[in-house]
Structure 1
Amino acid sequence: MRTQTNRGLPFARRCDSCDAAVVGTITFIAVDGEHRYAVCLDCATDALTHPARHARLRFTVARTGAVVTRGVIGGAA
């Protein structure tokens, strides 16, 4: 169940895969378009470290806007 912290902060977004706190968005770039998922640090690391064969993906950090790409040629990301 999603709960609020004791400081009165808004509800934290949760990972689409494991229900941990979200740190960014991972985008899988496929033939049928882009598929975006909110991910925690563990799930993002796992996707970037062990991608599917010929996978193209982009991870965007929510707080800083930094982008990490894998399998994307040039500026296609």
Structure 2
Amino acid sequence: MDQNNPLSGLTHKRRLSALGPGGLSRERAGLEVRDVHPSHYGRMCPIETPEGPNIGLIGSLSVYARVNPFGFIETP
């Protein structure tokens, strides 16, 4: 985890990834996976995503989104 300052640590904790074990690989992820889906509204930020091969595969929670005890992302 990046420990430059408290804000970067918080941003790191709110990051979402479709990569990793049980997820997608950069090579196999198509455009439909990387696009913004209507179900992401209020849950995932459509703007904050890296450029390059990870575009659309790594995102962040939106400002008021939270993860409930069952692991679902909720929005007010």
Q: Give 1 or 2: higher helix fraction.
A: 2
Higher fraction of strand: 1
Question: What is the TM-score when the length of structure 1 is the normalising length?
Answer: 0.30
Q: Determine which structure has more spread, i.e. the larger CA radius of gyration.
A: 1
**Structure with more contact order per residue of length (Cα contacts < 8 Å, sep ≥ 6):** 2
